[in-house]
Amino acid sequence: MSRSRPCKYGSVRVAVISVHTSPLAQPGNGDAGGLNVYVLQSALNLARRGVAVDIFTRATSSADPAMVSVAPGVTVRNVVAGPFEGLDKYDLPTQLCAFAAAVLRAEAVQEPGYYDVVHSHYWLSGQVGWLAADRWAVPLVHTAHTLAAVKNAALADGDTPEPPLRAVGEQQVVDEADRLIVNTDTEAAELVAHHRADPARIDVVHPGVDLDMFTPGDRAQARAALGLGDGPLAAFVGRIQPLKAPDVLLRAIALRPGVQVVVAGGPSGSGLSAPDGLARLAQDLDIAERVHFLPPQSRPDLVTLLRAADLVAVPSYSESFGLVAVEAQACGTPVVAARVGGLPVAVRDGVTGVLVDGHDPARWAAAIGDLLDGGPELLERLGRNAVAHAAGFSWGHTADALLESYRRAIADYGRARPPAAGRALIARRAGRRWTMRRGVVRNVATESR
């Protein structure tokens, strides 16, 4: 390992697989969300520690360049696999062979032993990562982010369950991965319960927040920038789909006269079938004049929105962590969140916000009312606590924990192979010579026999 800048772990090169969504996509659009932020921010912070990261993702436009240098040490590789448009993530299993072939070809033109570890995100990527890690004789580290069984157990009314194909694919990846990374202890327990994962192979790594970007600021100034006046203001930030439950917030606000809401995000998942459904609900609830819809926000604009709100609502039915909850708290804004998944880790109940059991709009209206009716002193105290709490979640901490997991994966992988087999494997990899002919990868050593 001598290719990238030195760090205390030695020089490491990581192949990150993110099939269904690009780290360069705008969160809040389509399938882009917290996973995109996680992949990009963790890669940037790994690079600052001397790790070289190549992120393989599916190209969704003919204008996408084959490679994008995001920062020193971080490269995004846009893989052509299937049509650029018209595919959602439920269509992507048909394109995994094409995607995997492109990943293997990218590595084949490099020196043998180019990558030291594969880190896959979401089950589709795990299928590709499993093949790549096996072919390159390196460990596979996998982050599921969400599980089909967990999502199906907490479906919103009318939402579409995850297909059996996904549960089977997740089980395969869990069985093959050398290490499994989860956001919280709750997620670790779910992996064990639903997929019989070995607890000894699970590492808990909390996601982070960009503490240089998400900071407290002047609320009045932020509201003026958004064209919003005084008065109680709640915000929802995320993809517009039943899973994220923005309708629960609107139904709760309908029970709280005088409270305004900003909804920032675009339709996603089953929400694509009725992209204007939330706006129609606001009309039906007779609160349209109190609901302001914004498109997905850039990071600076998101900071402005989070500073402007009195509280941020995260009413999801399932949430492995809830990055926006930590981002809001870093801006000094309390959070009202569902007591599901990783949100009890992201939000300290009664200290930085409120956790709500269930999705009854009346219960949500009461929780929101308790905060808003408590006066500015309560909101300011919760906001100060929120900033202190969010300070414990940095992407630097995430990168350090990922490196520890990679180190364990590499060490365990080496110990699992007998010396003779290991020497044969090294010799085989060292003797591999590849070339490209008309875009097809060929093994010269094999073909010359």
Give residue-wise pLDDT tens across range 313-368: 999 999 999 999 999 999 999 999 999 999 999 999 999 999 999 999 999 999 99
Strands 291-294 and 117-121: unpaired
Structural domain contains residue 338: yes
pLDDT the model gives residue 27:
67
What range defines the domain where residue 190 resides?
13-208+397-412
pLDDT the model gives residue 430:
45
Instruction: Say yes or no: 180 and 239 in one domain.
Output: no
Torsions phi, psi of 403, nearest 5? -60, -40
Structural domain contains residue 245: yes
- 38 marked as binding residue: no
pLDDT the model gives residue 440:
36
- 333 marked as binding residue: yes
What gap in Å lies between CA 331 and CA 386, rounded to an integer?
A: 8
Instruction: Say yes or no: 380 and 291 in one domain.
Output: yes
Instruction: State which of 391, 424, 444 marks the end of a domain.
Output: 391
Instruction: Say yes or no: 166 and 57 in one domain.
Output: yes
- 45 marked as binding residue: no
- 201 marked as binding residue: no
- 13 marked as binding residue: no
CATH number at residue 383: 3.40.50.2000
- 404 marked as binding residue: no
Structural domain contains residue 449: no
- 241 marked as binding residue: no
Structural domain contains residue 149: yes
Give the CA count within 13 Å in the CB-facing half-sphere of 367: 29
- 190 marked as binding residue: no
What gap in Å lies between CA 288 and CA 264, rounded to an integer?
A: 15
- 151 marked as binding residue: no
Structural domain contains residue 366: yes
- 343 marked as binding residue: no
Instruction: Say yes or no: 359 and 223 in one domain.
Output: yes
Structural domain contains residue 440: no
Instruction: Say yes or no: 198 and 242 in one domain.
Output: no
- 75 marked as binding residue: no
Instruction: Say yes or no: 233 and 187 in one domain.
Output: no
Instruction: Say yes or no: 279 and 165 in one domain.
Output: no
Instruction: Say yes or no: 253 and 185 in one domain.
Output: no
Instruction: Say yes or no: 377 and 316 in one domain.
Output: yes
Instruction: Say yes or no: 234 and 374 in one domain.
Output: yes
pTM above 0.75, yes or no: yes
- Counting as low any pLDDT under 70, the low residues of the chain are 1-10, 27-32, 268-275, 417-449
Structural domain contains residue 129: yes
- 166 marked as binding residue: yes
Total count of domains within the chain: 2
Which pair of tokens denotes residue 176?
A: 């093959």
Instruction: Say yes or no: 404 and 385 in one domain.
Output: no
- 26 marked as binding residue: yes
- 210 marked as binding residue: no
* Residues linked to residue 121 through DSSP beta bridges, in sequence order: 143
Instruction: Say yes or no: 278 and 330 in one domain.
Output: yes
- 297 marked as binding residue: yes
Nearest-CA neighbor of 36 among 93, 71, 76, 90?
76
pLDDT the model gives residue 159:
86
Structural domain contains residue 422: no
